[in-house]
Amino acid sequence: MADQIGYSQKVMEHFMNPHNVGVIENPDGYGKVGNPVCGDLMEIFIRVRDDVIEDIRFRTFGCGSAIATSSMVTDLAKGKTLEEAMKITRDDVATELEGLPPRKMHCSNLAADALHAAIQDFREKQKKEATG
Amino acid sequence: MEERIYLDHAAAVPVHPGVARFCRQFPAGFAGNPSTIYQEGLAAQATVAGAREKVAALVGAWDPASIIFTSGATESNNIAVRGTALRNQKMGKRVVTSAIEHISVLNPAKDLQKNGFTFTQVPVDRFGVIDLDALAAAVMPETVVTSVHYANNEIGTIEPIREVAEIVHDRGGFLHVDATDAAGRIPIDVERDGIDLLTLSSNQLGGPDGVGALYIRPGVRVQPVIVGGGQERGLRPGTENVFGIACMGEAARLAKEEMPEESERLRGIRDRLIAGITGIEEAYLTGHPAERLPHHASFRFARIEGESIQLAMNMLGIAVATGSACTSRTLEASHVLLAIGLAHDEAHGSMVATLGRRNSLDEVSRVVSATRETVKRLRAITPL
């Protein structure tokens, strides 16, 4: 539907009962994207062991799809290697959620970016430790 | 399962049962063509004339011919702003509106710039009341049309229309008032208020969608926005929507009759709702605390976003509105909430509850606790 406004059932499930909500104290990686002015702000915390995302948490300010995509990306990333997790795209998240309304595809589908930012943060910390 | 609670009458009002009963007299909606002179046509003419009288009576218009029927408030606003400005451009080429008008007033006003008009928006205070000093400075002798709504649909604030009218008429221009949300809820009198053009929507009165009306003070010249035949004094060509017009007329009659009692009843529910919801932590009323429409309660909540509030409330069986950018087609923050001085992030967290006939005092506690639960849940997720 070109003018679809409503959300899929999957989006509503994740919106009403989001998975992996919260923070990780002293995370191995932290990513933050969006800003409250635009109406969407997400942060993702990761715990990494042997190159695998062992634990992941998120907090999100935003609309239904912002919250649902955050929840979904944490599900998709958990247990994956960093390399696999880097390959998770915005489209993957939308597909797993059985689609998003067209106008939500860009503005409120930042969760994959937040995940990638967290992994990037982890890698930069590793680099610093190695060189420092 | 608990019954749903509908609190978005600003978006759509269920058809009044009295209107529905009245409309049943038209077999399958057939009502003839008023432009014909045989019996069916004459009956249709009489039907439209009856509706015109009822609509005129609602707003204190002494001459029913001053009412023309349109397809709704958007069209009425377009004819009022565009049609009046273009027809009278010898007076000057300026239009003025408040900063918080409906988009169907703002866009025709903006569009007039292509015809060489200067368009000025007048600011409002933090309650949404128009700045009368700024209005007095903005309206000039060359200002053909000034458009200020009777009340705002997002924050419920009622404007000081009589003071506005004095300023406008002092400069010699015409005052258009969009009364879509105010009509049938508070008394309107085009004579007392000094209104030259007034927009009305059928649905907001409890009539069907797709019909509206425009009051045009006798003597005020307007040109049509769409051109065709001579219906509605040539100002709104096209065969009349007789069925819709008849139903709108009845809605206007019932609204006038029921307004004193119904507005008082809604005001009571609204005040309880406002008291309950503003008791939630970091929840604030938007709009004017006293000068507001009797059915209108609007809020903002810090650190959470309006579309998620709307979705979560919906899951709890309650339909509310939000001015959140995320629910708009343009994904832009509400111009109304920005104009009353809210920052972008504050404007995202709004919730609007507009009451109607079916709402009752019993519903207030469920709405307040659902709001409380929703706010708590979303704040548990927010990083702010």
Asked if the structure places residue A119 within a domain, the reply is yes
> Nearest-CA neighbor of B349 among B382, B316, B315, B314?
B382
> Nearest-CA neighbor of B59 among B68, B67, B50?
B67
Q: How far apart are CA B325 and CA B348, in angstroms?
A: 6
Tens place of pLDDT for every residue, chain A, 132 residues?
A: 334 568 999 999 999 999 999 999 999 999 999 887 778 899 999 999 999 999 999 999 999 999 999 999 999 999 999 999 999 999 999 999 999 888 787 766 789 999 999 999 999 999 988 886
Both tokens of B211, joined, read: 């019909």
> Nearest-CA neighbor of B145 among B201, B103, B106?
B106
Both tokens of B312, joined, read: 């979560």
What is the overall mean pLDDT for chain B?
A: 95
Residue B1: predicted pLDDT: 60
Q: Which of B315, B322, B350, B381 to mutate to test the interface with A (most CBs of A within 10 A)?
A: B381
Q: What is the mean pLDDT of residues B32-47?
A: 92
Asked if the structure places residue A95 within a domain, the reply is yes
Asked if the structure places residue A40 within a domain, the reply is yes
Cross-chain CB nearest to A39 (options B303, B305, B380)? B305
Asked if the structure places residue A62 within a domain, the reply is yes
Cross-chain CB nearest to B381 (options A18, A37, A108)? A18
**Burial class of B71 by CB neighbour count within 10 A (0 to 12, 13 to 18, 19+):** middle
Which of the residues of B are catalytic?
Answer: 326
Q: What is the mean pLDDT of residues B349-371?
A: 97
Residue A38: predicted pLDDT: 74
β pairing state of A29-35 and A40-49? antiparallel
* Chain length of chain B: 384
CB contact under 8 A, A66 and B331: no
Chain centroid to CA B125: how far?
20
Q: Please count the structural domains in chain A.
A: 1
What sign has the CA pseudo-torsion B157, B163, B166, B172?
negative
Asked if the structure places residue A129 within a domain, the reply is no
Asked if the structure places residue A51 within a domain, the reply is yes
- List all residues 6 or more positions away from B335 whose beta carbon is below 8 Å from its beta carbon: B99, B100, B106
Q: Which of B304, B308, B374 to mutate to test the interface with A (most CBs of A within 10 A)?
A: B308
Residue B28: predicted pLDDT: 65
Q: How far apart are CA B226 and CA B78, in angstroms?
A: 10
Both tokens of B59, joined, read: 């707003």
Both tokens of A21, joined, read: 């909500």
- DSSP letter assigned to residue B144: E
- Helix residue ranges, H only, B100-241: 103-111, 132-138, 161-171, 190-193
**Choosing from A92, A107, A123, A125, which is the catalytic residue?**
A107
CA nearest to A32 within chain B:
B383
User: Domain containing A27: what range?
Assistant: 9-124
CA nearest to A57 within chain B:
B381
Within 8 A of B327 by CB-CB distance, chain A residues are 63
Instruction: Report the largest interatomic distance among the alpha carbons of chain B, rounded to a whole angstrom.
Output: 71
Q: Is residue B357 within 8 Å of B206, Cβ to Cβ?
A: yes
Asked if the structure places residue A97 within a domain, the reply is yes
Residue A25: predicted pLDDT: 96
* Residue A36, phi then psi, degrees to nearest 5: -65, -25
- Confidence band (pLDDT; 50, 70, 90) for B327? low
**Any CB–CB contact under 8 A between B326 and chain A?**
yes
- Helix residue ranges, H only, B28-90: 39-58, 73-78, 84-87
Residue B25: pLDDT over 90? no
**Burial class of B64 by CB neighbour count within 10 A (0 to 12, 13 to 18, 19+):** middle
Q: How far apart are CA B45 and CA B34, in angstroms?
A: 5
β pairing state of A52-61 and B318-319? unpaired
**Choosing from A4, A6, A16, A38, which is the catalytic residue?**
A38
Task: Kindly report the CATH number assigned to the domain that includes residue A20.
Answer: 3.90.1010.10
Residue B345: predicted pLDDT: 86
Q: What is the pTM of this model?
A: 0.94
Q: Which amino acid is at B312?
A: A
Q: How far is B4 from chain A, CA to nearest CA, in Å? A: 18
> Nearest-CA neighbor of A53 among A111, A114, A122, A130?
A122
